Amino acid sequence: MDTTYNVKIWSIRVYRGKQKTSYSVRWSLDGREWRQPFDTRALADSFRSELVSATRRGEAFSLTTGRPVSHQSGTSAVSWYDFAVQFADAQWHRTAGNSRKNTAKALMTATVALLRTPPAFKPVDVRTALREFAFNARRREEAPAELATILKWVERNAMSMAAWEDPAKVDEVLHALGTKLDGTRAAASSVKRNRRILNVAMEYAVTHRVLRTNPLPKGRGSVPKTSSAIDKRSLLNPEQAARLLGWVRRRPRGGKRLHAFFATLYYAGSRPEEVVAMRVADVRLPEEGADDQWCELLFHTAQPEVGKNWTDDGEIHEERGLKGRAADDTRVVPGHPSLTRILREHIKAQSLKPGDLLFQGEMGEMLAGSVIRRAWVRARREVLTPEESASPLGKRVYDLRHTRLTKWLNDGLPPAQVAEWAGNSVPVLLATYARCINGQLSDLKRRMEAGGDLPEVTD
């Protein structure tokens, strides 16, 4: 292929005709002029920027086509939108529902930032079309007519992958990923998740020879720092937990069932998605009349609620193995005698059989996350003081798990044992809960004193 580095790029020429106005990008190669017309200035500006970026990279231009060599190899000619759809489909078959949803959100934000011109549609409609249909492999063909029109417009107006070779455009996309719709800064955890997804997309582009290198910045400071440590203010003391669970039990509609559910979270330190998946046979109760004995809970399945749009079978929950473990792994956790009494009463009251779900909705279906959250929000509002309710204290249902794991550590149980019951690794457990361990300072001081130190200096 004959190529040249003798490139000159001129300003955009505007032609105003009787029917319409056109915008032409003009450049020359070895003195030969080339010209590409566009219907809008934004499209012309985007194309001209691609040519300028190629010259700054020292890229050769083809004397046959007039374009940068990378355009001919397919690298820059690929549309970002087409690539993003391809990447979303590739991820769909290898990730779980929540990961699919997060991938769609990240790609949606990046796509809006990579449009050549602002859309004339409502921003919320553009985002819905992208998030719920374009990057959803199962629903793409189900998009309503008005959203399908938006997607066709996006497909025509999305920049090419060459945009990633412009550092300014990369910064613009990263800024969009770190900003909420109201213009405020997104949570550091959200920013980190979006950056991680985008980085996987860029590595996918490199692997499939769509990009030559990963354009995202690397090294210290490129990703916001996040902490896995829990907020100590979110932990409940025994009296607060008792009042909250007591209010739930007295709730007229389904109170006793929800009380047993929350009590299992509180006493066993388990994850909500593990508890909703439990069957009656997974509870090993002592013999009748021995309710002062400990029970055992067997966890082997999780049923996170991801939404019917993001599962393969259209169900709201997605069945999978325990978090961070092999698909067929199990975990046994001891249950306090108080939990023994609660679960025995619950099983009898509901006339449950061994194969039944331990905690069910009103129609015998899996307990819905919306029901769980509404009950907990109402309990906090009714039980806690206004100051406590406005604080992080027990703000999430998940804080019942945090409270129990912290208590086990504060009671002096070995971290390895707590990690086993929690379904975590020891490093993750300590990184998450080390700041909340207290009540052992006096014992630690005695140990340090017993270890000896330098003799006191006397005059």
pLDDT digits (tens, 9 = 90+) for 406-425: 999 998 899 999 999 999 89
Q: 62 pairs with which residues across the strands? A: 3
Between the two ends of the chain, the Cα-to-Cα distance in Å is 91
452 pLDDT band, cuts 50/70/90, is: low
pLDDT at 64 over 80: no
- Domain check: are 173 and 246 in the same one? no
Q: Are residues 308 and 262 part of one domain?
A: yes
Does 7 map to a domain?
yes
Cβ neighbors of 223 (< 8 A, separation 6 or more) are 191, 192, 195, 196
> Measured at the alpha carbon of residue 367, what is the angle toward residues 256 and 335, in degrees to the nearest 5?
60
299: nearest Cα among 235, 378, 358, 361: 358
- CA–CA separation, 103 vs 118, rounded Å? 23
Residues 147 and 237 in one domain: no
Which stretch of DSSP H or E encloses residue 35? strand 32-38
Helices (H), 116-237: 123-129, 145-157, 167-177, 188-207
Backbone dihedral angles phi then psi of residue 433, each to the nearest 5 degrees: -115, -5
The boundaries of the domain holding residue 162 are 80-207
Residues 311 and 257 occupy one common structural domain = yes
Shared-domain flag, residues 256 and 346: yes
Do 388 and 291 belong to one domain? yes
How many domains does the chain contain in total? 3
Are 257 and 378 found together in one domain? Answer: yes
Domain end, chosen from 207, 242, 276, is at 207
Mean residue pLDDT of the chain comes to 88
pLDDT at 110: 96
pLDDT band at 250; cut points 50, 70, 90: very high
What the block records as the tokens of 324 is: 């961070």
What 8-state DSSP symbol labels residue 356?
S
Determine the Cα–Cα distance for residues 439 and 413; give it in Å rounded to an integer: 13
- Domain-ending residue, one of 28, 58, 73: 73
Write down the pLDDT at residue 453: 59
In a shared domain, residues 49 and 85:
no
Q: What is the pLDDT of residues 136-187, one digit of tens each?
A: 999 999 999 999 999 999 999 998 888 887 888 899 999 999 988 888 888 8
Neighbours of 139 (CB within 10 A): 14
295 located within any domain: yes
256 pLDDT tier (thresholds 50, 70, 90): very high
- Return the number of other C-beta atoms located less than 10 Å from residue 293's C-beta: 12
Residue 220, domain member (yes or no): no
Q: Which residues on neighbouring strands pair with residue 38, listed in sequence order? A: 23
Instruction: Give every CB contact of residue 409 below 8 A, 6+ residues apart in sequence.
Output: 415, 418, 429, 433, 436, 437
CA-nearest of 383, 386, 408, 432 to 241 is 383
Average pLDDT over residues 350-357: 95
Same domain, residue pair 149 and 100: yes
256 and 380 fall within a common domain = yes
pLDDT at 251: 92
Residue 154 CB neighbours (<10 A)? 23
- Check pLDDT > 90 for residue 63: no
pTM tops 0.75: no
**End-of-domain residue from the set 73, 88, 121:** 73
Among candidate residues 148, 140, 138, the one with its CA nearest the CA of residue 92: 138
Q: By the 8 A CB rule, do 387 and 393 touch?
A: no
